[in-house]
Amino acid sequence: MPLVLATDDSGGPEIFASVQGEGPSVGRPVAFMRLSRCNLACVWCDTAYTWHFEGDNRPHHDGVTFERKANQVTLDEDEVAARITQLGQDRLVITGGEPLLQAPALAKLLDLLPGISVEIETNGTTKAPPRLDIRIDQFNVSPKLAHSGNPADLALLPERLDAYATDPRAFFKFVIAEPSDVDEVLTLHDRYRFKPGHVFLMPEGTDSETLREREKWLADLCLKHGFRMSDRLHIHLFGDTRGT
């Protein structure tokens, strides 16, 4: 079963080496692979080219839709493994879209990469089957709050959040646009009892000025509630661009 990847600006698969820009591994050199397709639709999503294709009527703040053929590429697992190996990194970040929608192909891919450690970026609504789960070293779970535009009955699934909350590999990264968004994080924290040190608050934004302005008040909220704060390092380094 081949993998369906997002494309970079040249039309090739979005597989590249960079430093992790968010969450607990920020600054770490890694290989990245971005897969296409998502089961949610965040109005502020900065990778809408992975899901907001022509004919998709789910809302997005800029209203832009993308041609599917120009923004997806399908590759066999052995070719993907070769491209990742050529990057020379010992850790792989698999992102999307929602990567766990392609769990069977991912499991086959990781069989071809036995020496690499793996992070999965997930929205927390899906489950890795055992063959894939055993290869995951870290889950970066980003549950979507109300301001994402996703209804809670699709985005916040109790069975899945209970499972991730009790998994020591799982870290939670909440996108925050307004101070009031943190109230929803506190409600979720009270319900699921996330592990101390495993909750990150990250400002929503795709330019340095917006991120810095929001981090000013977000830092105070992290101090008040004992959460960690995540920057978006890649935005400061490269801007809102593909393949970075």
Tell me: is residue 42 an annotated ligand-binding position.
yes
Does the N-terminal peptide bond of residue 97 adopt cis geometry, omega within 30 degrees of 0? Answer: yes
Tell me: is residue 69 an annotated ligand-binding position.
no
3-state SS of the chain? Answer: CCEEEEECCCCCECEEEEECCCHHHCCCEEEEEEECCCCCCCCCCCCHHHCCECCCCCCCCCCCCECHHHHEEEECHHHHHHHHHHCCCCEEEEECCCHHHHHHHHHHHHHCCCCCEEEEEECCCCCCCHHHHCCCCEEEECCCCHHHCCCHHHHCCHHHHHHHHCCCCEEEEEEECCCCHHHHHHHHHHHHCCCCCCEEEEECCCCHHHHHHHHHHHHHHHHHHCCEECCCHHHHHHCCCCCC
Tell me: is residue 85 an annotated ligand-binding position.
no
Tell me: is residue 19 an annotated ligand-binding position.
yes
Tell me: is residue 45 an annotated ligand-binding position.
yes
Tell me: is residue 20 an annotated ligand-binding position.
yes
Tell me: is residue 34 an annotated ligand-binding position.
yes
Token look-up 């909220």 returns 221
Tell me: is residue 56 an annotated ligand-binding position.
no
Tell me: is residue 222 an annotated ligand-binding position.
no
Count of alpha carbons within 13 angstroms of residue 223, beta-carbon side? 6
Tell me: is residue 47 an annotated ligand-binding position.
yes
Tell me: is residue 10 an annotated ligand-binding position.
no
Tell me: is residue 44 an annotated ligand-binding position.
yes
Tell me: is residue 21 an annotated ligand-binding position.
yes
Tell me: is residue 95 an annotated ligand-binding position.
yes
Binding-site members for S-adenosyl-L-methionine are 44-46, 97, 142-144
Binding-site members are 19-21, 34, 38, 42, 44-47, 95, 97, 142-144
Binding-site members for [4Fe-4S] cluster are 38, 42, 45
Binding-site members for Mg(2+) are 47
Binding-site members for substrate are 19-21, 34, 95
